[in-house]
A and B are shown apart, each in its own frame.
Chain A
Amino acid sequence: MRFLKITKWELKNTLSSKKFITIIILQFGLLILMMSFFNMFIGSIESEDGISLSPSLSKFASIDVSDNNSFIITNLNKEVLDIRLVDYNNSLKRLRDGKTTAIIVSPENPREKIESFQTINIDLYINSEDPKQSVVLNEVNSTLEALSTSISDEWINSLIPPEKIVDPEVKEEKKGEFLPLQIIKKMMIAILLFLPLFLFGNMVVDSIVGEKERKTGEIIIAMPLSHSDIIMGKNLAIILIIALQTAIWIITLLIAGFNIKNPQLVYLIVLLTSVPIIGITSVIATYSKNYKEAEIGLSLVYIIMVGFLIIPALAYISTRSLSSNISPMTLVMRIFSGEAISGVDFIIPIFSILMVSLISFWTSIKLFKRDDMVFGPRPNLIRIIMDFLGIKKREFK
C-alpha cells in the first residue's frame, strides 16, 4: 500500500499546480471546440437540403427541359442544375447561343408506353464545348437511373397484394446515403469519447522522465519504496485524473445532446481503455532519456494506438466482422448506439485491455528497476531485450 502514498502526493501536487489547471482548461476548450465542430458538421449533413458539401455547385449548370408530362423534370436535382421548362425549338436556339449547357427531351406519353412495355427514348443534347457538360451528364444519368428503379419498383409492388408489403417485423435496411452518415456520426461520438485518453501522455512523461531530467530520481529511489511502488503510484494518480476528466467529459457530451445509451458502461470501458494506454506511455517514459525522446516515442506509438482503436471500429461498421471487437472502441460504439451486447462480446476487448496493461506495466517496472535506465549509460534495445530473455553478455576482462 506504499504506492498509495505516492499516488496521494502526485494527485495533490498535480491538482494544485497552475500548469495542470491550465492544461485541463485548454484540453477542455479543445474538446468543446471539436464537439461543436462535429455538431455543425452533422447538422449540415442532416439538414433538409441534403448534403451540400460544395455550395459553389448550386445552380452550377443550366439545362432546358422539354417535358410536357412532367416525367423527368420533377426528378432532376434543382440544387445543382438551373432548370428551365422551354419548348424544343426555342431551346435549340439557346443551346447554339451558349445560353444553356444541355437540353433534355422527354418522349410523348411516357407512362402509357411503359405500361405497354415499349422502350422509351430520352434525348439529351449537350454543348460539347461547355466544360460544365460532365456535371450535367452525371446529374442526368443518376436521375434516369433513379427514375427507372422507381418505375420498376412501382410495377413490382403493383403485382403483390398490399398486405404483404407492410411487414412490421422486417426492418428496412438503410442504405445509400444513410450509411456514411451513420458511420460519421458514430465515429464522431466514439472519437470524442476516446480522444481525452490521449491528452494525458504528457503527464506520464512529466512524472517519470521529469525525475530523470531534473535528477530527482535519485532521492525517490533512495526511499524505502520498491520500484513498482513508484511506477504504479505515479500511474495510478494519472488514471484517477483521467477517471475524473472522462466523467466530466461524458456528462458534458450528454448535456450537449449527444445520444449516448448506457453512459455508465461506456464510461467504464473508456476508463479501462486508459489503463493500457497509460501503461504503454509509461514504458516509453521509463525508456526515454529526456522529454524530447519521450515525445517522439509517444507520437509514433499514439498513432499506432489510435489506429488500433479506430480501424477495427470502422471495419465493424462496414462489415460487422467479429474480429473487429478487439478494439474497445467497437464495443463502446455498439453500447452507445444501443445494440444488444452479450457477455461474450466483452471477452475479447477486456482480455486485450488486460493483456496489454499487464505486459506494459510489467515492462515499465522492469525497465525502471535497471539503474542504467535512470542514470545511464542506457544500453541499446537489443541488449535490453536480451536481458529480458535472460541471455547474458559475454564478460570482458
Chain B
Amino acid sequence: MIKISSLSKYFGKIHALDNLDLEINKGELLGIIGPNGAGKTTAIRIICGILKPDSGDVVVNGYSVLKDPIMVKSMIGYLPEEPNLYERFKARDLLRYFGELYGVPKDNLNNRINELLELVGMENRAEHRINTFSKGLRQRIAIARALIHDPQIIIFDEPTMGLDPATSLAIRGFIENLKGEKTIVLCTHYMDEADTLCDRVAILNGGKVRDMGTPEYLKAKIHGDIILEIKIQNQNIDTEKIHSLSSVESVNLNGKNLSISLSSKQEISDILRLIGNNMISINTKEPSLEDVFIHSIK
C-alpha cells in the first residue's frame, strides 16, 4: 500500500532521514516509535507530499508522491502533530471547508460532517468557534477533519501527545475503531500506546529503521530479561547464593527492594525458598516495548 524507499532528507546540515526504507501493508496499523527528533514527523510529511525528499520516493497505491502528489494526497487523511486549525472558523464550517477542498460531493457533505461530529463526540459544539476549544476538543475536530474525505489511508502523528488521560483514551478508541478498515500509520513516542494498538511496529532512530515487527516478536527478541521485583523486611539476604543460580543474571539490592534479573522462569521457586519469609511482596515484570526500544537503539 505504501512503499517508502531509500528516503533521505536534510534540513540544512541536519540529516533527518537517512536512507529510510519501510513498507506498510493494506489494512494494517503500523506504529512508528522513536524518541523526539528521530525523524517520524519528517517521514510522515514526505509520505503526505508536504515535504520533498532529497532522495528516494514514496509510492502509495502505485502512485509516486513525487510524480502524482495530488493523487497521493487525495488518498491520505493526515492528523498533524500540532492540531493547528483556522481559529476563526466554527467547527462545522471548518469541516465543510476541508470537505469542499477535498472534493467531497455536496449532497454527501452534510451527512458526513454530522457523522464525524458524532464520532468524535462534538455534536453539541458544532456551531462554536475553534478558538474557544481546549486542546482536547481541537484534537477531536482535527481528527474529524482528517477523516472528512473518508480516506483509505490515515496517518496520525502523535495523536495523544499532551492530552489528558481521558481524551487520550477516547482518541485511542477512535483509532481502534478504524483499525482493520483503513490502512493506518501511527507515530508515537508512547510505547504502551503502540503496544496495545499496533499490528506492527517500526523503531525509528536517527532517521533509520532500527527494528521492525509485531510487538510480540520484538519483545520475544529481547526475552530473558524477566525481572523479579521483591520487597523484603530486612536486608538479611544472601545475594551471593541467589547469584550462583544458573538462570540469574544479576541481583540488585536497593534498600528494601530486591531486583533479580532472570534468563528463564525455571528457578523462581528456588529463589523464593532462599528468601523465605523475609519477603513482603513479589512482582514479575515482563519486557515492554520500552525495553525493546531501549535495547534496539543502544
Contacts and interface: CB of A to CB of B under 8 A. Distances in A.
Q: Do A and B come from one complex?
A: yes
Interface of A: 2, 5-6, 9, 13, 17, 214-216, 218-219, 221-226, 371-372, 375-377
B45 A223 contact: no
29 contacts: A2-B101, A5-B100, A6-B101, A9-B100, A13-B89, A214-B87, A215-B84, A216-B86, A218-B45, A219-B84, A219-B85, A219-B145, A221-B49, A221-B50, A222-B73, A222-B76, A222-B80, A223-B73, A223-B101, A223-B102, A224-B73, A224-B101, A225-B70, A225-B101, A226-B69, A371-B51, A372-B11, A375-B45, A376-B11
B178 to A, nearest CB: 18
Contacts of B48: 222
A344 B51 CA distance: 47
Of A9, A221, A223, A372, the most chain B CB neighbours within 10 A belong to: A223
A216 B98 CA distance: 12
Nearest to B42: A375
A372 B86 CA distance: 22
B80 A218 contact: yes
A226 B84 contact: no
B41 to A, nearest CB: 10
Contacts of A223: 73, 98, 101-102
A232 to B, nearest CB: 14
B133 interface: no
Nearest to A379: B12
A224 B74 contact: yes
Contacts of A13: 86, 88-89
A219 B80 contact: yes
A226 B100 CA distance: 15
Nearest to A215: B84
B142 to A, nearest CB: 8
A211 to B, nearest CB: 9
A223 to B, nearest CB: 5
Interface string B44-59: 0100111110000000
B105 interface: no
Contact of A224 (B12, B52, B88, B102): B102
Interface string B69-104: 111011010101010111111000000011011110
A337 to B, nearest CB: 44
Contacts of A215: 82, 84
Contacts of A226: 69-70
B85 A5 contact: no
B50 A371 contact: yes
Given A17-B88, A215-B84, A216-B86, A222 B78 contact: yes
Nearest to B46: A371
Contact of B70 (A219, A224, A372): A224
B54 to A, nearest CB: 10
* Top 9 closest pairs, chain A to chain B, by CB: A224-B74, A215-B84, A224-B73, A371-B51, A224-B70, A377-B12, A222-B78, A222-B48, A221-B50
Contacts of A214: 84, 86-87
A377 B9 CA distance: 12
B129 to A, nearest CB: 11
Contacts of A5: 100-101
Given A215-B84, A218-B84, A371-B52, 6 more contacts: A219-B78, A223-B73, A223-B98, A225-B73, A226-B70, A375-B51
Contacts of A372: 11
Q: Which of A2, A6, A218, A221 has most chain B Cβ within 10 Å?
A: A218
A64 to B, nearest CB: 75
A377 B49 contact: no
A378 to B, nearest CB: 10
Nearest to A214: B84
A216 B11 CA distance: 20
Interface string B153-197: 000000000000000000000000000000000000000000000
A224 B148 CA distance: 13
Contacts of B102: 223-224
B85 A216 contact: yes
Nearest to A219: B80
Contacts of B76: 222
Interface string B100-116: 11110000000000000
Contacts of B74: 224
A376 B88 CA distance: 26
B79 to A, nearest CB: 9
A222 B77 CA distance: 9
Nearest to A226: B70
A309 to B, nearest CB: 34
A227 to B, nearest CB: 9
B88 A222 contact: no
Contacts of B98: 219, 223
A275 B10 CA distance: 36
A356 B50 CA distance: 29
A79 B12 CA distance: 73
Most buried by A among B48, B71, B76, B84: B84
Interface string B258-292: 00000000000000000000000000000000000
A226 B73 CA distance: 10
